[in-house]
């Protein structure tokens, strides 16, 4: 029994010591805290949302004929110049066809020369037949040539005329064939050029979709390129706030890699998603990131203006036991909970709508402090007002 009484007494003594320590820490021990004065300022208003990195000018290099891919000179991430040959296809049959068309053109050129000579000969024969017919017509009137002889001469004249017509038709046909072969030569040259896939612009290779030895057909994608200068982020913005967004507004883009870069609103979609009630806002990079990936996730904050009023540091906000938002005012060396109504919150400061007056002192940060605690203020650091957004 005596032992139990001793244990009970020791427990009461421990509780008394703990209570005394707690009371001392709360009412007598001063905790050093930073104190900020409530003052007028403004906090940037932002519209934020998730997005994906896209390119306004994506290019897919595809095969335009059926052939075997013989080489791919670039890989993913390589920078290429406009006109640079990036891949080649087997062109042996195309080269042979181009040579065959060239041989046909040479042969046809000789046929055209021969047809022109035939026309000249037919014209000469016609001229001779006309002279003979005229001379025999005079002789017929004088009675020196019989009618049958004149009829034969006249028939020879008609034959000479037919011969010229035939020669002219043959020449026209050869010249038509010549034009056709010119078109075939152009086609053969164009098809031969399809075996070399060149970059249409300065770009970066984002995908390599085929390897040498693969048989490709028209439309088969081989490489995908993007122009880094045309990169932007397609941001999903709710209809309720998109009206505050305008082209030209500044923005900050945080990529999944952790890199943060500046941007500017370049386009606002005019079509809303019927399911999510969101629109795409396209934010262009001011300077393209050093490393990027198409469809990479990003978080974007668009600066849409300022909210002005009394401001305090964000870390001065806390909640009481009932869950009400507020701050810990510092009054006569003690903290005192003051419920507040907040406005726009930025990265470092928040606008206070109700609950505080200019010049009030608040503990910052409020984490770890309780209302009624004795504190020792550290040197004051006035809350900085937000700078205006870059335009």
Over the stretch 25-52, which tens digit does the pLDDT of each residue have?
Answer: 544 556 788 888 999 998 888 888 999 9
In angstroms, rounded to a whole number, what is the distance separating the alpha carbons of residues 310 and 40?
4
Joined tokens for residue 33: 């805290």
Q: Is the dihedral of CA 10, 14, 19, 25 positive or negative?
A: positive
Statement: residue 24 has pLDDT above 50:
no
Mean pLDDT of 142-148: 77
Given pLDDT bands bounded at 50, 70 and 90, which one contains residue 17?
very low
Domains of the chain: 48-56+227-305 (2.40.30.170), 61-82+199-224 (2.40.50.100), 92-193 (1.10.287)
Is pLDDT above 70 for 380?
Answer: no
> What is the pLDDT, as a whole number, of residue 385?
46
Looking at residue 69, what is its pLDDT? 93
Model-level pTM greater than 0.75? no
Q: What is the spatial distance between Cα 168 and Cα 120, in angstroms, rounded to a whole number?
A: 9
- Tens of pLDDT along 49-72? 999 999 988 899 999 989 999 999
* Torsion 212-218-220-226 (CA) sign: positive
Tell me what the mean pLDDT of segment 130-139 comes to.
80
- The answer on pLDDT for 239 being more than 80 is yes
* SS3 category, 359: coil
**What pLDDT does residue 390 have?**
44
pLDDT at 7: 60
Q: What is the DSSP string of 166-195?
A: HHHHHHHHHHHHHHHHHHHHHHHHHHHHTT
Residue 389 banded pLDDT, cuts 50, 70, 90: very low
Beta carbons of 49 and 237 less than 8 angstroms apart? yes
């Amino acid at each position: 029994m005596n032992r139990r009484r001793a244990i009970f007494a020791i427990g009461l003594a421990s509780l008394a010591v703990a209570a005394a320590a707690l009371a001392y820490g709360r009412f007598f021990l001063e905790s050093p805290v930073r104190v900020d004065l409530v003052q007028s300022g403004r906090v940037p208003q932002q519209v934020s949302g998730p997005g994906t990195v896209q390119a306004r000018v994506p290019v897919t290099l595809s095969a335009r004929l059926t052939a075997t891919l013989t080489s791919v000179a670039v890989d993913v991430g390589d920078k290429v110049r406009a006109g640079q040959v990036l891949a080649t296809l087997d062109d042996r049959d195309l080269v042979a066809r181009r040579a065959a068309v060239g041989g046909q053109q040479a042969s046809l050129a000789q046929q055209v020369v021969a047809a022109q000579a035939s026309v000249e000969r037919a014209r000469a024969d016609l001229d001779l037949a006309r002279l003979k017919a005229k001379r025999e017509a005079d002789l017929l009137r004088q009675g020196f040539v019989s009618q049958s002889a004149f009829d034969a001469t006249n028939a020879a004249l008609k034959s000479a005329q037919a011969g010229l017509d035939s020669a002219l038709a043959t020449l026209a046909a050869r010249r038509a064939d010549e034009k056709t072969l010119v078109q075939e030569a152009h086609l053969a040259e164009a098809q031969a050029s399809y075996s070399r896939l060149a970059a249409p612009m300065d770009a970066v290779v984002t995908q390599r979709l085929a390897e040498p030895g693969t048989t490709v057909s028209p439309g088969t994608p081989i490489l995908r390129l993007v122009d880094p200068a045309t990169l932007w982020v397609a941001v999903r913005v709710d209809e309720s706030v998109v009206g505050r967004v305008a082209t030209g507004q500044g923005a900050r883009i945080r990529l999944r890699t952790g890199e943060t870069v500046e941007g500017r609103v370049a386009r606002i979609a005019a079509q809303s998603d019927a399911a999510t009630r969101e629109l795409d806002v396209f934010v262009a990079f001011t300077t393209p990131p050093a490393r990027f990936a198409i469809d990479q996730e990003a978080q974007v904050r668009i600066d849409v203006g300022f909210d002005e009023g009394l401001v305090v540091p964000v870390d001065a906000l806390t909640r009481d036991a009932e869950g009400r938002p507020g701050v810990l005012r510092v009054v006569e060396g003690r903290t005192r909970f003051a419920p507040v109504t907040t406005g726009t919150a930025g990265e470092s400061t928040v606008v206070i709508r109700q609950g505080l007056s200019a010049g009030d002192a608040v503990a910052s940060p409020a984490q770890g402090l309780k209302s009624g605690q004795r504190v020792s203020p550290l040197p004051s650091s006035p809350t900085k007002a937000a700078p205006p957004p870059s335009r």
